[in-house]
Structures are given as structure tokens and as C-alpha cells.
Chain A
């Protein structure tokens, strides 16, 4: 196997790792958009808060002398998901619900306000500098020719792949099998009709914010462990990227968000590999503009029909 091929394989592995976490965040955007037709602007901040909670819990448990890594990760996951979901619910309650039925711009602006508020809330309570945690999951496999180029696939990356896969499986089952999932699907078809049929749509909307926040918290846990660094400003770029992924796959479509996240992650890794890495953000936002230009409904999305 040639040198360049192995390099490409390595980039694909890295890209899929990042991409799968983008996909997790993107699902939150896509679900909220699918149901109320609005962008949840504070979603990136929920992801950032999830990362912080992960660090707090892990640092706290390590400080208390706990050694079992799986247990620590499990507790961190549960707490991060719970707290981030509460934040997601609060965002819906404060910034969206009181404004339902007003001009579309109004909830969008209040959500931007919410996002600025949450970011600065974390800056004030945790400080604005980077906080680093030593890698918890270490080791991995390497293959390829040691003289030319060695491809490495770490346990951490495997962990991310597995965790993402499991979360998406659970979500898919939830949406397709459970009562609440059916209500979600019904709401995204026609929210007014669903309401008439006796479904508490307010609860469904709150539920989508909670599910989105929970997935964003999982992504926060995975990415913060992967990078080992958090700061209060990571939510902004991550939110933008995930939104790009959601649009790429077709906003409103859950499989689309998954696919979009993976494609975006790979594109970014390849850009960073063959061009100066500063331009990877430019390429992903450029990609967003190109999709909107040529295929506004995304890869798997349904074209939007304007109703009078």
C-alpha cells in the first residue's frame, strides 16, 4: 500500500470521527426545524455546556478517588445528558414558547440573545480560558508500514464511533416505535392537525428540544474527551458546522443530518490534510453556500412547498 493511500485512510478515519459528532449535534437542529420550522440558535451553546459538565463531573470523580474509568464515563454521560437536557428545555421555555405565533424573526432574535447569554454565563462562572483534561481513554491500533506512514486508530476514536452509532440507533428506534416518537413525526407533518387530534404539541416541542440537547451533550462529552480542551466559545463554531451538516443532508430529515455530518467531517479532514488547515472552516461554510445555491432542499430533504 502506498504512502499517499495510507495518508488518505488516516484522514478518512479522523474525518468520520469528527463527522459523527457533527451529526449528533445536527440532529438537534434538524428535529427542531422539522417541527416548529425554526433554527434553535442556542443549540451550539448546549453542546458547549455539555462539554463543561463532562469535565466537571470527571474532574470531580477523579478528585474523589474513583478509578474505574467505565463507571466515571457512565456517570459523566448521565449527568451531562440530564443537565444539558434541562438547559435545552429551559431555552425552549424562555426563548421560544412565549413567542409562538409571532413574526418569525422574533423567536430567532430571542434565541440569539439566549445564546449570547449562555456563552457569557459560562465565561463568568468558569472563566474564559482553555481548560485541559489529560486524555482518559488512551492507546489504540496502528497499521501500515512503519517506514512509510502509519495509520493509527485510537480507542478513543472507536469509542466515539460506537457511542454515536448507539445513540443514533436508540434515537431511530425511539422515533419509529415509541408513542412520543409517533407524535414527533405527526407534528412535523402538520402541527395544527396533530393538535386537533388531541396530542399535546407543547409537550412534543419541549421533547424535541430535550432530545436535541441530550444528543448535543453526548457530542460534547465525546468531543471534549477527544480534544481534551474546552472553552466557552466552542459552541459557536460547532453550532455553525452542525447547522451546515443539517442543511447538507436536508433540514428536517434525521437520516439526512447523520449523512450530512459524516460528509462534512470528511470534507473538513481532507481540506485540512491537503490545504492550510486554517481554511477548513472557510471550505465548510463555502460548501453550505454552494448547497443552498444548487440544492436548497439538501441531499435527503423534501423540496419545500409554499402554502398560502
Chain B
């Protein structure tokens, strides 16, 4: 009986909430504001939703049981462990890398472009993973460091004519510096404060970029950012001031897809570099300290670990990865404006980390790919995209907080 009462109650609440938002719509009719009722189709949706809530509450035990029965994707079992793995791993990595390099020459330009975007998100996801997944610090203004990286390259290239390759480390350095300056005061505090302060910081950066018109161009952004070059060779059709062109140097016909593939390959190399560095860091004492600190702060401190220094290192390294991704993003787009660096972007990156499984690199790579490709496939549902994002985040936390591919730690059992 309790179940039935609960279900009726939930359905009633849903009805009230739905009626006053979907059921009535504010409409401006000339100067006066009016209210119109929902269309029959919307009412159908509302009652469908109510029925869904009613039955999911009524049969919640059965649904939970069914969820538990679904075999969880045991990806980790597919990967061989132990000595076999250490032998196989380099070959496997090399194989994946070669596939990644060959692949763009066989598919259309659009899909290569999409893959480049996915690679940017992979970079961002991996960077945020250091902060959120490994060190357990919730950073909601991650996009600020992405923006710092992008604007560093855009401004340096516009005002000083520096090339992409020179700016790449500078951008990462600048983002790291910002991370350091922000992290220094805040990281001594508890985690929730960090979430809000980083959120505020993200807004500050966006507002500054929007209003400092003299330098950043304000809302109009910066356009005509130079593309990356290959040892000084440009990928444009006509050369500007006597620089060598890629297709002339190699004596092949000009094709616009050269540039796209080149950008993709840069992204592949950058992602490989980021993965390599992070993997090395995770095996170093500092990486171990990040995870230890996340698990038990007090125990870490009593073992003599410097809490602030460890958190700060994670925060700074995460920020520099975003700076990396940012400068590449600026180079790829050729145009940046503060519009690209809103809170929603931070939320998407966070969603990638959460969906993939906090701390799990494979999971994050998968989630980044899914998150980039799915919206492209489901274009007609694009207006529901953010709604579903939010819903997925809530449901994931409830049923599978460890993510799609949970992080696997080396476990030693005493027998």
C-alpha cells in the first residue's frame, strides 16, 4: 500500500510541476503579457510524463532489481593483465596510433573535422580528470583556462606574429600560471568552496574578455588567427609573404583537406603527448599523492604530505592541459570569441569526466567521443541536448557514479 500511496503522491507532484511550466506559456501580445494554454500535444507529453513517474515509483523495486541484473560492461576483463599486458601494451599502443594516423586519409573531410573536435574534448577531459578524477577537486571554471590558452595564442600571433609551435608551450604556461594564482588562495579551503570560486573565476575571465575591447576585441572576438605550419610550410592556396606552401614543396595539387588532415594529426600528436605525460605523472610520487589525498586528506597530512602543494600541482597541471587544448582550438577555428567559453562548456567537460568515470582515462576518451559524435547524429533533437545532459548527470550519479568504465587500480589481496 505504501508503494501505491508513494506513486500517487509522486504523480501528483509531477502534475503540479508540469502544469505550471509546460501547461501554461507566457506570451507577449503587443505590449501586454498574456498566458496561453498548452497544445494538446504538450498535454499528451505531460500526461505521458506523469504516467512514467507513477509507474516507475510503483515498480521502483522491480526496476532497481532489473538494473542490477543487467551485466555491467566489463571492459576491464577484456584487457589482459600481468606479464602478458606488459608485453602486449607497446604493440597495442603503436597499433592504435598507426590506425589513428592512417584513418583520416580514407574518410570524408567532415568526419576528420569532427574527429579533431573530439580530440580537443579528449584533451580537455584528460586535463580536468587530473583535477577532478585524480585529485578530487571539483573545478567548475575549467573553461577559463581553456580561454586563457586560446587567447594567449590568438593575441601573441596577432600582435607579435609568433607561430603556433612557439605559442603552444607559452599558452600552456600562461594557463598554468592562472591556475597557480587562482589555486593558491583557494586550495587551502574545503572542496565545495573551490567549486564556487572556480565557477566565479570562469565568469570573471569571460566578462573580462568581453569588456576589455581594446585588447581582446570584446564580443566580436579575434579573427584571422594564423594556422599552424609544418616546418614553416603553410597550408593555404596562395602564399602570403614568400613563405613556402605545402603543396608546392611536395609538388602535389592543392587540396583543402590537407589542412584538415594536418590539424587532425597535430591533435593526435598532442593527445598522445598529454596521455603519455599524465601516465608518467600518475606513476610518480606526485601522482600517487594526488589519489591518496583524494581518498583521505587527514591521513595524508599525518604522513607529512604537503596538502596545498599537492593540490596546487594537480590544479596547475590540469590548467596547463586546458591551455594546450585552448591554443590548438584557436589555431583550428581561426576565430575565437568569449561565446566559446561559457559555463556550459565547463559543464560539458565535467560531464565527459563524470560519464567516462572519474579517474579512468579510457572511459574519458570514450565519453569524449560519444559526447562529440552523438549531438551530430541526433541533430533533430539538438534543443533537447542540454536537458538530456542534465538528466544524464543526475541519473549517472544515482546508478553508476563510477562512470562507464570505472577506474581500475592495482589491488593486492592478502590471502
Residues of chain A touching chain B, judged by Cβ–Cβ distance below 8 Å, are 33, 37-39, 49, 52-53, 55-56, 58-60, 62-63, 79, 83, 86-87, 89-90, 94-95, 98-99, 102-110, 112-127, 131-134, 236-237, 240, 243-244, 247, 276, 278-279, 281-282, 285-286, 288-289, 292-293, 296, 304, 306, 308
User: In the bound complex, how far is the Cα of B132 from the Cα of A115, in angstroms?
Assistant: 19
In the complex, chain A residues whose CB is within 8 Å of the CB of B383:
124
Encoded as 1 (CB less than 8 Å from any A CB) or 0, chain B from 129 to 158 comes to: 000100010101000000000000000000
Q: Separation in Å of the B400 CB from the closest CB of chain A?
A: 11
Residues B189 and A296 in contact, CB atoms below 8 Å apart: yes
Residues A247 and B390 in contact, CB atoms below 8 Å apart: no
Interface residues of B in 351-380 (CB under 8 A from A): 351, 354, 358
Q: Separation in Å of the A189 CB from the closest CB of chain B?
A: 19
With beta carbons under 8 angstroms apart, the residue of B25, B33, B350 that contacts A133 is B33
B35 on the A face (CB < 8 A):
yes
Residues A126 and B25 in contact, CB atoms below 8 Å apart: yes
Q: Separation in Å of the A302 CB from the closest CB of chain B?
A: 14
Decide: A120 near B390, CB < 8 A? Known: A39-B195, A285-B203: yes
User: In the bound complex, how far is the Cα of B208 from the Cα of A279, in angstroms?
Assistant: 8
User: In the bound complex, how far is the Cα of B190 from the Cα of A124, in angstroms?
Assistant: 36
B407 on the A face (CB < 8 A):
no
B26 on the A face (CB < 8 A):
yes
Residues of chain B touching chain A, judged by Cβ–Cβ distance below 8 Å, are 13, 16-17, 20-22, 24-26, 28, 31-35, 132, 136, 138, 140, 182, 185-186, 188-193, 195-197, 199-201, 203-204, 207-208, 210-211, 298, 343-344, 347, 350-351, 354, 358, 383-384, 386-387, 389-394, 396-398, 401
In the complex, chain B residues whose CB is within 8 Å of the CB of A94:
394
User: In the bound complex, how far is the Cα of B292 from the Cα of A48, in angstroms?
Assistant: 40
Q: Separation in Å of the B164 CB from the closest CB of chain A?
A: 30
Residues B197 and A292 in contact, CB atoms below 8 Å apart: yes
User: In the bound complex, how far is the Cα of B32 from the Cα of A276, in angstroms?
Assistant: 33
Residues B197 and A83 in contact, CB atoms below 8 Å apart: no
Residues A126 and B26 in contact, CB atoms below 8 Å apart: yes
Most interface-central of B26, B31, B347, B391 (chain A CB within 10 A): B26
In the complex, chain A residues whose CB is within 8 Å of the CB of B298:
306, 308
Q: Is the interface of B mostly helix, strand, loop or mixed?
A: helix
Closest B residue to A281 by beta carbon equals B207
Most interface-central of A83, A117, A237 (chain B CB within 10 A): A117
Closest A residue to B347 by beta carbon equals A116
With beta carbons under 8 angstroms apart, the residue of B207, B389, B392 that contacts A282 is B207
In the complex, chain B residues whose CB is within 8 Å of the CB of A116:
344, 347, 386-387, 389-390, 393
User: In the bound complex, how far is the Cα of B201 from the Cα of A119, in angstroms?
Assistant: 21
Residues A292 and B186 in contact, CB atoms below 8 Å apart: yes
Decide: A131 near B26, CB < 8 A? Known: A109-B354, A289-B200: yes
- 9 smallest A-B Cβ distances: which pairs? A113-B393, A117-B390, A116-B390, A285-B200, A110-B397, A293-B185, A120-B387, A113-B394, A59-B33
Residues A282 and B208 in contact, CB atoms below 8 Å apart: yes
User: In the bound complex, how far is the Cα of B410 from the Cα of A244, in angstroms?
Assistant: 42
In the complex, chain B residues whose CB is within 8 Å of the CB of A39:
192, 195-196
Residues A115 and B211 in contact, CB atoms below 8 Å apart: no
Q: Separation in Å of the B35 CB from the closest CB of chain A?
A: 5
User: In the bound complex, how far is the Cα of B12 from the Cα of A90, in angstroms?
Assistant: 12
Residues B203 and A106 in contact, CB atoms below 8 Å apart: no
Residues B401 and A117 in contact, CB atoms below 8 Å apart: no
Residues B186 and A289 in contact, CB atoms below 8 Å apart: yes
User: In the bound complex, how far is the Cα of B185 from the Cα of A105, in angstroms?
Assistant: 21
Q: Separation in Å of the B193 CB from the closest CB of chain A?
A: 6
Decide: A86 near B13, CB < 8 A? Known: A60-B35, A289-B201: yes
In the complex, chain A residues whose CB is within 8 Å of the CB of B191:
104-105
User: In the bound complex, how far is the Cα of B391 from the Cα of A122, in angstroms?
Assistant: 14
In the complex, chain A residues whose CB is within 8 Å of the CB of B195:
39, 108
Residues B394 and A95 in contact, CB atoms below 8 Å apart: yes
In the complex, chain A residues whose CB is within 8 Å of the CB of B34:
59, 63
In the complex, chain B residues whose CB is within 8 Å of the CB of A106:
397, 401
Closest A residue to B383 by beta carbon equals A124
Extra contacts, 5 of them, besides A60-B35, A244-B196, A289-B182 (Cβ < 8 A), are A56-B35, A62-B33, A132-B33, A289-B185, A296-B189
Residues A114 and B196 in contact, CB atoms below 8 Å apart: no
Residues B204 and A282 in contact, CB atoms below 8 Å apart: yes
18 A-B residue pairings within 8 Å (CB atoms): A39-B192, A56-B35, A58-B33, A105-B191, A106-B401, A109-B393, A109-B397, A113-B389, A113-B392, A113-B393, A117-B390, A119-B386, A132-B33, A236-B343, A244-B196, A285-B203, A292-B189, A292-B197
Decide: A131 near B28, CB < 8 A? Known: A63-B35, A110-B397, A289-B197: yes
User: In the bound complex, how far is the Cα of B202 from the Cα of A281, in angstroms?
Assistant: 12
In the complex, chain A residues whose CB is within 8 Å of the CB of B208:
282
With beta carbons under 8 angstroms apart, the residue of A63, A99, A105 that contacts B138 is A105
In the complex, chain A residues whose CB is within 8 Å of the CB of B22:
125
Decide: A112 near B196, CB < 8 A? Known: A59-B33, A282-B204: no
User: In the bound complex, how far is the Cα of B383 from the Cα of A112, in angstroms?
Assistant: 19
Q: Separation in Å of the A102 CB from the closest CB of chain B?
A: 7
Q: Separation in Å of the A137 CB from the closest CB of chain B?
A: 16
Closest B residue to A89 by beta carbon equals B13
With beta carbons under 8 angstroms apart, the residue of A60, A113, A118, A124 that contacts B397 is A113
Q: Separation in Å of the B196 CB from the closest CB of chain A?
A: 5
